[in-house]
Structure 1
Amino acid sequence: MDAPDAPFHWADLPMPQAGPGEVLVRIHASGVNPLDTKIRAGAADHARHPLPAVLGMDLAGVVEQVGPGVTDFVRGDEVWAMAGGVAGVQGSMAQFAAVDARLLAKKPANLSMRQAAALPLAIITAWEGMVDIANVQPADKVLVIGGAGGVGHVALQIARARAAQTFGVDSGAAAEYLKSIGTVAIDRNTPVDAYVEEFTDGLGFDVVYDCVGALDTAFKAVRKFGKVTSSLGWGTYSLGPLSFRSASYAGVFTLRPLLSGEGRQAHGRILAEAKKLVEDGKLLPRMDSRRLTLDQAQQAHELLRTGGANGKLVLEL
């Protein structure tokens, strides 16, 4: 693509080669994320990716070639990853990509390529909040604001897999889906004090994960000494309610390893751990019913931008 919001076009690029520590992946499916549309529009200062560029962060595919020093993968392995699409690193909307092996994990056997490409960014973001930061424990009461969204529905399933009680705030239209994954559905128009009283006897939730930029609500919903985390934490908020509860807050910035090069092995670790949950039937993607191909990237971006998608969109190659 030539400029922000310009139509996508095909381009012949040099065939990537797997360098030291890299794996060449033949891409079968590329996940589409809201952040991709922001990068394309030049509205994501935190996700630098100079244009023109190959977009796309999530991928599922097959190992074609293994570079020097890589021992965890062999040709023919089916893999998944959040592997590029920022920081000048080629994205997944292409037939091949040379990927840092630390970002990769073997794909869950029970997922199609399309399903697998729907999950990496969401899984890593949700896992960092629920496991690495909040360390959700059995019987914790966990609230996810934006529970039916891309990160939210994964965060709820991870919490459920850790034997927590889960509650999801979203639109009334999402209630049936939230119930289907074992979560109590809370209409986002319900006052926070009302559902804190109803579901926690006024004490507050042990863990609150904000996926939509609603930290003022999260700070009011957490219990004393509880934990709040957010994947969309920029803005101006009042810290008073959090401080009065002696609760803690930590943000999640999933792109840091891609932007800085530091800590990339954590992404591969998380996807390897999540693979077990997927294969045990405890974590599945919420997919939009449309089957889209790479030449329908423009349609996919428009659906995301206008709120027309009902679940994750994936481009199949």
Structure 2
Amino acid sequence: MEPTPRPAVSIVIPTHSEQRWNALVRTVASARSQTYAPAEIVVVVDHNPVLFRRTRRDLGGVTVLENLYTRGVSGNRNTGAFHTSTSLIAFLDDDTVACPQWLENLVKPLAADPAVVGAGGGIDPDWEGAKPAWMPEEFLWAVGGSYAGMPTTTAPIRNVWSASMVVRRDTFLAVGGFRTGFGKLGNQNRPEDTELCLRMSALAGGHWMYVPDAVIRHEVPASRSTFGFFLRRCYAEGRGKVAMAGLLDGSESLGSERDYLRSLPRAVLRNLVAATRGRGAHHALKAGGVLAGVAAAGVGGVVETVAGRRTVVAGATR
């Protein structure tokens, strides 16, 4: 019996700022070094002509495009994805480094099961300095990392993150790709990857897989290691998830968030017990971090709910 041919994969990397040039070079180098060689590497520059010219000049062997849509990472990714012709499309962020087996491991669930519409891999925070003592493992998502409570072996999951993602091209195109205008731009931080995952699953009746062995490292600069950034990120996540629910099927799309919130009291208790048993004061700080993160996300959710209601009322009175 002849072996099943391996599906071809393109890798799309969005970028927007010259300040990330060195990181982008590292990301592209890691994409080139995959044991599962990509058919094409596409770098898409978000409305930055200077960076576009530099990327075309200095990054040989990759396709370099300009964002064809309005400014923002969703349009940036769509530009690259719609350009490709492979059956699978993978995404990396421009501040990540993929391990050599990343793509090979990420593709396995899709090659094995046609019901899998996409997969995501494990993300290890790559701290510029020391990891903050108060940072709870359950909140590593706030710095773009896999967090405590996620599967430790390959398993179905509701959604993955676009920093480390592979999708079936036909399903991705059928839903229109990432929702433009609903993503990361300036101070706005909307979960465009979660929203995409839900639409793709709903259309195809398929599911997503999380592959913890498909590892990337995600850079965490010192500016994102502060408590202030943590609170702002949690607040933005609360707003973003409520905004996402408004676009989809209301609160039904937030089932995973409710399950996650129900797990957090155990994290608080575990850290407090560890602190009282003399295992280190940092456990008490982590318990406080959980409570602060939940509070900030809750405030964000309330603010977005009120803002949404005001929008509806304003529209009805016109």
> TM-score category by the smaller chain?
under 0.3
Structure 1 length normalisation: TM-score? Answer: 0.23
Structure 2 length normalisation: TM-score? Answer: 0.23
Structure having the higher helix fraction is 2
